[in-house]
Amino acid sequence: TQALAAGMPANTNKPLEHGIDNAKAAPQGLTVEPPSALPGGSTLSEHNASAKTGGVAAPGINPASAPLDRVRVDSAGQRLTTNQGVPVADNQNSLKAGVRGPVLLEDFILREKITHFDHERIPERIVHARGSGAHGFFECYEPLTKYTKADLFNEAGKITPVFVRFSTVAGERGSKDTARDVRGFAVKFYTQEGNWDLVGNNMPVFFIQDAIKFPDLIHAVKPEPHHGMPQAASAHDTFWDFASLMPESTHMLMWQMSDRAIPRSYRMMQGFGVHTFRLVNEAGESVFVKFHWQPKLGTHSMVWDEAVKISGADPDFHRRDLWEAIDSGEYPEWELGLQIFTEAQAEAFSFDVLDATKLIPEELVPVQIVGRMVLNRNPDNFFAETEQVAFCTAHIVPGMDFSNDPLLAGRIHSYVDTQISRLGGPNFHELPINAPIAPVHNNQRDGMHRQAIPRGRVAYEPNSLAGGCPFQAGAAQGFQSVARRMDAKEASDKVRGKPEKFADHYTQAALFYESQTPAEQAHIAAAFRFELSKVTVPAVRERVVATLVNASPALAAQVAEGLGIEVPAALPLALETPVSPEVKSSPALSLTARPGDGGIRTRKVAILVAHGAEGTSIAALQAALLEGGAVPRLVGSRLGSFSAEGGELLEVDATMENSPGFLFDALVLPDGVAAAEALARDGHTAEFLKDQYRHGKTILAMGASQGLLGDAGIPLTLPDGSADPGLILTDAVGVASAVPSFIAAVGGPRHSARETD
Ligand code: HDE
C-alpha cells in the first residue's frame, strides 16, 4: 500500500521494469544512470518528451531495476559452470575411456548440456508465430475519469510501462516478415491495478463473426496439411476455398488484399483493438469503445514486387527495422485513439457493433486521442521476452469490460488455454515478462515450474487462520463486471444463431474499396489477381469473383479480366433488404490519410559509389540527409573504400550484392565519369536501378550518372509524358536545388504514377 501510495510499482520483484519513469519512481538508494547523450545535444529523456503533457519519460534501459537481477545473467568475467553451479574444467572434450575409446555414461557434464539443448525449443504459437517485441511506455494526455476508472487513464502525464509484440499470422516462427498477411499488434500494459492486454491487429475488422469458425479459418490459411506448403501465404487453394464459402470474410479480404497487408515497417502501421469493448467509470456507468493506434511516422506500405524480393534478401526486414530504429534512439511512437459511443447510438447504427467484420467509420464516431505509446528499449533476450510473452484478451483491469461480441468471447477462452500448452503449465504468469507490476496474492498453488514460494499453511478463503487474508477487494476497488440486464433479444431461448445485421456482408467491403485512392484500388485488384492465379481450382476462383460482384462490380470485372474469365453472376445475398449505410465514403480508410509529417527520419538512402565518384556533392548530400534524420549508406560493388575524384576516400557501408536496391527507400547515383563507367560495368547496377524505379522510389541522378538510367531502361518521363517528380537530375537543376527536392520527394508518397505492372 505504501508503495502504491508513493506512486511506486508494488511488486518488488519488478519495479521500474520496461521504461517506467525513473525520475518519478526510482526507489531510494538505487542509483539511476544519467541518460546518454544523443547527437545534437539532446538526451534520450528529452527525445521522449511529450508535446502534449510536457512530461519526460525515462530511457527504457533501466539499471535501477535491481530485484530482477535475480533472473538476469551476465557472464562477463565469470567461469563456466553446470546448471548446478559446478565449475567446468574442459568444455571441448567428452569423458572417454582413452582418447580413442568410447564416451562414458558417467559424463554428467556432457549429458546435462545435451539434454538441456534437446529441450531448448517450445511449441510455436499456433497463429502469430513470427513476431518481434519491444519495451516502452504509455503516457496519458488527459484524465479520462469521466469514462473509466482504469488507473492508466486517470492522470495527465501518467506513465505506464508496456511490452509490445508485432507479428504476422500465418507463417511459422522462422518465416519471412514481408508476407502478405494481417499483422498482430499486441500491447501489454503493466498498470498499477494489474496487466491489461490490448491484443489487436493492424486491420480493424476480421474474417469471421464467431469464434467457432476460427480453427476452420486457420486450418484453411496455414500450409496445406498433406505437403506443408505454402509457407506464410494465403495464395493457395484451401484458403480461397474457405473464403469463397464465407461471404462474411469479404470486408476483411479487401483489407488483406490492400497495401495494409504489406507494411513498410511495424513503425508505420495502425493498430486496432477490433472488437467493441466497454469503459466503466467509478459510478459503474459504461460506454462502448473501440481502440485505435495511430503511428507518428504515418502509414506506409510496400509494393508487392518489393515485398517478394525483400523476403529473399532479408526475411527479417521488419524485425531488423524495429530493432535498428530503437537501437539508434529513433523511438517509434503511436497515439492511442478511442471511439467512444453509447449503447443507444450503437442500437441505431446500420451495422451491429458486436460484429467483428464491421468497423465504425471515423466520420460517424470520431477518434479521440488520449495518449501516446513510445517504444524505447529492445529486449535483452528474444526467447525470454518476445517468445515467452503471453498476451490474453481476458486480461482487463477495473474500469474496462467486454462486449457480447461472439468472436471476443472465444478469444477470452483461447489465449490462456493455448499458453498452458505452449509455455508448459499454468504458471507462465510468473515469467518475468508476464509478471504484473501490481502485487499478486491469491490461493492458487503449485503446478509445473512454480516460482513463488507462498508462505504459511493457509491456501483457502474464507479463513480465520491467516486473518482472512488475502481478502476480497470489494466493489469499490476490485474488478466488477458491468451489471447490465440482458434485454429480451439477448436473453431469449438458447440459440445457435446470429442477429439480422450480421447478414450484411458487402456494404462495408464496398465502403472500404470506394474509400481508396485509384492507386490503392489498383493494388487491391492486382492482389486478388495474384492470389487467385495461384488457386488451381477454377470453381474457387469464380466463386471469389462472384462474391466480389456484390461489393464492387468494377473490381470484380478487373479481377475477372486478370484471370481470363467472364464475370460470373453475383453470389446470392443473405439479406434481402438493402442496408443504407450512414457513411458512403470514408477517406480515413485510405493509407494516404495519414502520410506522417513528410519528414525522412529513419528512411534508408543508398548512395552508389565507385572510384572517381564526385566527393563534394556526396558529402553535401550525406550531411543534408543526416540532418533530416535519414540513414544514408554508401553502396559499392565491394566492401572497403573507393577514391573519389578529388582523392578523398569513400568508405563503403554495404555492397550491391549484400544489400540490393529494394532494401532502400531511395537511391542516389554519383557524379563522376569514371564512377559512372565503373557502375555501368557491374551487372548489379541496372537491377538496383530498375527495382528502385519500379517500386516507385525517389532517384537522384547526379551529373555523369544520368546515362545509367538509360542503360537500365528507365524512362525520363511518366507513361503519360509528364515529368516524373521522383526522378531528379542535377543536370537539369543543379546540385544545390536538387538536394532539397530529393529530400522532399523521399518524405512524400511513392511515385505510383510510374506503375505499369
Ligand atoms: Fe488471436 N490468437 N485469436 N486474434 N491473436 C492468438 O494466442 C484467437 C484474433 C492476435 O504476439 C493465440 O498466445 C481466436 C483477432 C494477436 O503473442 C490464440 C480468435 C485478433 C496474437 C489466438 C482470434 C487477434 C494472437 C495464438 C477468434 C485481433 C499474437 C498464440 C475468436 C483483434 C499475440 C497465443 C502475441 C494470438 C486465438 C482472433 C490478435 C490461439 C480463438 C480478431 C495479435 O490463442
**Atom in ligand 1 nearest the alpha carbon of residue 128:** 29
Q: Taking 90 as the threshold, does the pLDDT of residue 284 lie above it?
A: yes
What is the Å distance from ligand 1's center to 125 Cα? 9
State the pLDDT confidence band at 74, using cuts at 50, 70 and 90.
Answer: confident
State the pLDDT confidence band at 73, using cuts at 50, 70 and 90.
Answer: confident
Average pLDDT over residues 67-83: 86
What is the Å distance from ligand 1's center to 8 Cα? 32
**Atom in ligand 1 nearest the alpha carbon of residue 414:** 44
Give yes or no for residue 414 CB within 6 A of ligand 1.
yes
What is the distance between the alpha carbons of residues 437 and 8, in angstroms, rounded to a whole number? 9
Would you give the DSSP letter of residue 88?
P
Q: Taking 60 as the threshold, does the pLDDT of residue 93 lie above it?
A: yes
| Nearest CA, atom 20, ligand 1 | 200
Q: Taking 80 as the threshold, does the pLDDT of residue 11 lie above it?
A: no
Residues known to be catalytic: 128, 201
The predicted pLDDT at position 70 comes to: 76
Locate 520 and state its grid cell.
490503392
Give yes or no for residue 255 CB within 6 A of ligand 1.
no
What is the distance between the alpha carbons of residues 497 and 478, in angstroms, rounded to a whole number? 34
| Nearest CA, atom 31, ligand 1 | 211
What is the distance between the alpha carbons of residues 678 and 655, in angstroms, rounded to a whole number? 14
What is the Å distance from ligand 1's center to 415 Cα? 7
**Atom in ligand 1 nearest the alpha carbon of residue 210:** 31
The predicted pLDDT at position 492 comes to: 76
Q: Taking 50 as the threshold, does the pLDDT of residue 266 lie above it?
A: yes
The predicted pLDDT at position 36 comes to: 45
The position carrying cell 549429458 is 111
Give yes or no for residue 395 CB within 6 A of ligand 1.
no
- Give, for ligand 1, the residue of 132, 172, 195, 199 to mutate: max count of ligand atoms closer than 8 Å to Cβ: 199
Q: Taking 50 as the threshold, does the pLDDT of residue 7 lie above it?
A: no
What is the Å distance from ligand 1's center to 389 Cα? 13
Least confident of 62-66, 103-107, 660-664: 62-66
Q: What's the sign of the alpha-carbon dihedral 210, 211, 215, 220? A: positive
The predicted pLDDT at position 38 comes to: 44
Identify the architecture of domain 131-430 in CATH: Beta Barrel (2.40)
What is the Å distance from ligand 1's center to 204 Cα? 14
- Give, for ligand 1, the residue of 414, 418, 420, 428 to mutate: max count of ligand atoms closer than 8 Å to Cβ: 414
What is the distance between the alpha carbons of residues 678 and 311, in angstroms, rounded to a whole number? 29
Q: Taking 90 as the threshold, does the pLDDT of residue 485 lie above it?
A: no
Which CATH topology does 516-593 take? Hemocyanin, N-terminal domain (1.20.1370)
> What pairs with residue 137 in β-bridges?
161, 374
- pLDDT tens for 121-158 read 999 999 999 999 999 999 999 999 999 999 999 999 99
**Residue type at position 754:** R
The predicted pLDDT at position 19 comes to: 47
The predicted pLDDT at position 106 comes to: 98
Peptide bond into 34 cis (omega under 30): no
The predicted pLDDT at position 552 comes to: 98
**Atom in ligand 1 nearest the alpha carbon of residue 408:** 31
The predicted pLDDT at position 602 comes to: 96
What is the Å distance from ligand 1's center to 418 Cα? 10
Give yes or no for residue 411 CB within 6 A of ligand 1.
yes
- pLDDT tens for 436-457 read 999 999 999 999 999 999 999 9
The predicted pLDDT at position 46 comes to: 66
Element (DSSP H or E) covering residue 553: helix 553-563
- pLDDT tens for 461-483 read 999 999 999 999 998 899 999 98
Looking at the chain, the domain(s) classified CATH 1.20.1370.20 span: 516-593
Give yes or no for residue 252 CB within 6 A of ligand 1.
no
Question: What does the chain come to in residues?
Answer: 757
Q: Taking 70 as the threshold, does the pLDDT of residue 4 lie above it?
A: no
- pLDDT tens for 690-734 read 999 999 999 999 999 999 999 999 999 999 999 999 999 998 788
Cβ atoms within 10 Å of 145's Cβ, excluding its own: 14
Looking at the chain, the domain(s) classified CATH 2.40.180.10 span: 131-430
Would you give the DSSP letter of residue 245?
T
Long-range contacts at 456-462 (CB < 8 A, ≥ 24 apart): none
Least confident of 59-63, 276-280, 685-689: 59-63
What is the distance between the alpha carbons of residues 490 and 498, in angstroms, rounded to a whole number? 11
What is the distance between the alpha carbons of residues 639 and 655, in angstroms, rounded to a whole number? 6
| Nearest CA, atom 42, ligand 1 | 206
Looking at the chain, the domain(s) classified CATH 3.40.50.880 span: 604-754
3-class secondary structure, 103: strand
Give yes or no for residue 127 CB within 6 A of ligand 1.
yes
What is the Å distance from ligand 1's center to 411 Cα? 7
Q: Taking 60 as the threshold, does the pLDDT of residue 117 lie above it?
A: yes
Q: Taking 60 as the threshold, does the pLDDT of residue 591 lie above it?
A: yes
What is the distance between the alpha carbons of residues 621 and 604, in angstroms, rounded to a whole number? 13
pTM reported for the whole predicted model:
0.94
756 with 519: CB under 8 angstroms? no
Helices (DSSP H) in 15-84: which residue ranges?
22-25, 44-47
Does the domain at 604-754 match CATH 3.40.50.880? Answer given as yes
What is the distance between the alpha carbons of residues 4 and 324, in angstroms, rounded to a whole number? 35
State the pLDDT confidence band at 13, using cuts at 50, 70 and 90.
Answer: low
ipTM of this complex: 0.97
| Nearest CA, atom 9, ligand 1 | 411
Listing DSSP states for 443-498 in one string gives S----TT------SS--SSS-STTTTPSPP-HHHHS------PPPTTTTSS-----
